Amino acid sequence: MRNLFFLAVFLSSSLPVFSQVYLGASVDPGGFAGGKPPSVMTRSESSFENSLSLYFSTATMYEVFDSTSPEREILKYSDKGFYRTELVYLILLASEKKEKFKPLADRIIKGETLRKLSSDLGFDLLENFAKASKIKEEVERMSDDDIVNLHEMIINRPRKEGEIKGPPDEN
């Protein structure tokens, strides 16, 4: 019986261990065959998310998303089925009411309406939805993968009182 136990332990220790940590670095035989190179953000919709993240100030986007790459957060919620106008509206809401985007979006995902969310936070739905719609249209117009137009949009966007008016050489 004791020999059977040791034989079982010996045989089980020789099997591959699948619970080892995989660090993501590996080489396979096809790795040197010149396969297709990896692509990054190939979706055409990402141009809207990038443009939207650049439309608002960096401080605003960091405050709203707590992230240094808000375009990825916007893309994540876009993939979850949020409409572009909804995304802009939630950014406006979060920015004005000093809230984080994620909890607001989570409430929408759970089935809460924009009307309820807005009334709970004292945010005018119709006025701000119209504003969000105009911003969305402007960002869509400028996000046709034309970096020159995107740069112009950033420089010439409407500014709040006290903000820097343009590039440093124009001030």
Q: What is the pLDDT of residues 96-151, one digit of tens each?
A: 999 999 999 999 999 999 999 999 999 999 999 999 999 998 888 876 545 555 55
Distance CA 49, CA 5 (A): 61
Residues 13-24 have a mean pLDDT of 50
Lowest pLDDT segment from 4-8, 52-56, 117-121, 147-151 = 147-151
Q: How confident is the model at residue 48 (pLDDT cuts 50, 70, 90)?
A: confident
**Would you state the structure tokens that stand for residue 63, as one six-digit string?**
């405050």
Distance CA 132, CA 113 (A): 16
For the chain, how many residues are written?
A: 171
Domain limits, the chain: 46-158
**pTM score, whole prediction:** 0.59
Q: CB atoms < 10 A from the CB of 72, how many?
A: 15
- Contact assessment for residue 43 and residue 71, using Cβ atoms and an 8 Å cutoff: no
- Contact assessment for residue 136 and residue 45, using Cβ atoms and an 8 Å cutoff: no
